[in-house]
Amino acid sequence: MGKRPPSVDRLARSLAAHGLPHPLAVSVARQAIADDDADRLEDYARRRRRQMITEVVNATGVMLHTNLGRAPLPVSLPSRYTNLELDLETGSRGSRQRAVGDVMAEACGAEAAMVVNNCAGAVLLTLAALAPNRGVAVGRGEMVEIGGGFRIPDVMNQSGARLVEVGTTNRSRLSDYSDVADDLAMILKVHRSNYRIVGFTEDVTVAELATVGPPVVADIGSGLLDSTCPWLSGPPPSWLAEEPAARQTLKDGADLVLFSGDKLYGGPQAGIIAGRADLVATCGRHPLARALRPGSLVMHALHETTLAYLDRRGGDIPFWAMASRTPVELQARADAIDATLGTALSASCQSVPGGGTLPTVTIPSHGLRITSDVSDALRNLDRPIIARVEDRHTIIDLRTVDPTDDDYLSQALAAVLPAEPDPHR
Ligand SMILES: *Cc1c(COP(=O)(O)O)cnc(C)c1O
């Protein structure tokens, strides 16, 4: 007779220290037994635990890191009810779009605004609602693909609108648009968020497009709210110079702007449609609006983020707090960590905005440079630290690390740094 198989339940209970809910511990134990590998049960549990969502320290210097949830959320929400769809004035049912839409419209300088799940959803809804079976002009140099398979021609197909390509890859002129104006329900201007076309180029501005006739919808993608950045105490960062902003794009004559909530806006994942009230209302009445609407968590978080903009509290929005840190203050933090550890790791480095925005921009920063690759050890910590590796050196960019995590970072480094060779042995 063979050995009796170990009891699944007993094995699962032996994993208590791993913090897995019991049913997950049971499935881990079953798997280990099925693989005839019960001796390595602890490894199975550790691996399972690491598949769960957990807080990490972003030391990559990529401010909007898609793998790390893009923008860190500016709010922590109480577990309470909200008046999401209740009109407190009348006591009757209201619109969940109303409160966020109103403050968002104010922030953008728009007549009206509404919110969907992401900017991809905003593009899809706008096309479906405003141009069903009708022509939409897009410049051939703006046939964007962003990560995750979102391609403008494919979205156009899905929406039921008909793509009217104008111009060439590198050049389009106003006449390219006006020549086909009679065939158009809309002109879609798509920002080249994640690529650049340089050399022999020509482009048509939103102000020029606004003279053609059909409504101009600008997908600005990244969601810079206002190019003057009035929520910052200093001037706008120079690396934002070329980035289109919602407020100025509307002022230039766009009928609608579309943008993400979790790129340069620094809020939760969302897509914002802002501009002419009649067009926003048409989008809101389309059946897809219900399928694309966010839940109360997102509405609440976007509302709070937008209030921070209106109050000019840029420092309360983590993305803008990061973006505003100077190399000098980051160096002081790096030097303090060196002093704690007795090391000399402080070094300058370069941050990037990330998240598929501003592909050519780097921002002078400061952090720690370790002359070996300790990125696996840092990532394997219970509270993982995600670092960057360049030429087998580990770079810890302090711009994306919250200052309250510096002590944790010091302790973690003390544990993973390779021991210095002892000169006396
Ligand atoms: C990022 C981006 C999108 C998609 O935004 P999501 O919020 O990620 O869906 C659409 N258009 C442009 C131009 C973008 O930059």
Q: What residue owns the CA closest to ligand 1's atom 13? A: 221
Q: pLDDT band at residue 7, thresholds of 50, 70 and 90?
A: confident
Residue 49 CA to residue 29 CA, distance in Å, equals: 13
Evaluate: CB of 138 within 6 angstroms of ligand 1. no
CB distance 206 to ligand 1 below 6 Å: no
Q: Could you tell me if the CB of 284 is within 6 A of ligand 1?
A: no
Ligand 1 pocket member 146 (CB < 6 A): yes
The arrangement of secondary structure in 57-72+320-416, i.e. its CATH architecture, is Alpha-Beta Complex (3.90)
CB-ligand 1 contact for 120 (6 Å cutoff): yes
| Ligand 1 neighbour 152 (Cβ under 6 A) | no
- The ligand 1 atom at the shortest distance from the C-alpha of residue 357 is 15
* 37 CB-side CA count, 13 A: 12
> Is there an atom of ligand 1 within 6 Å of 126 CB?
no
Does residue 270 sit in helix, strand or coil? Answer: coil
User: How is the chain split into domains, by residue range?
Assistant: 57-72+320-416, 96-317
- Answer whether 244 contacts ligand 1 (Cβ < 6 A): no
Q: Give pLDDT tens digits for 280-324.
A: 999 999 999 999 999 999 999 999 999 999 999 999 999 999 999
Neighbours of 7 (CB within 10 A): 11
Greater confidence, 72 or 406? 406
Digit-coded pLDDT (tens) for 92-112: 998 889 999 999 999 999 999
- At residue 420, the pLDDT reads 65
What per-residue confidence (pLDDT) applies to 422?
Answer: 52
* Pocket test residue of 70, 123, 138, 150 for ligand 1, highest count of atoms within 8 A of CB: 150
Count of beta carbons in the 10 Å neighbourhood of residue 350: 17
* Digit-coded pLDDT (tens) for 357-371: 888 899 999 999 999
Range with lowest mean pLDDT among 41-50, 77-86, 406-415: 77-86
**What pLDDT was estimated at residue 194?**
86
pLDDT digits (tens, 9 = 90+) for 314-345: 999 999 999 999 999 999 999 999 999 999 99
Going by C-alpha positions, the residue among 237, 226, 197, 220 that lies closest to residue 352 is 237
Q: For 120-146, b where at least 16 C-beta lie within 10 A, e where not — what string?
A: bbbbbbbbbbbbeebbbbbbebbebeb
Q: What is the CATH number of domain 96-317?
A: 3.40.640.10
Q: Which of 70, 263, 273 to mutate to test the pocket of ligand 1 (most atoms within 8 A of CB)?
A: 263
The percentage of the chain sitting over the pLDDT mark of 90, rounded to a whole number, equals 83
Residue 191 Cβ contacting ligand 1 at under 6 Å: yes
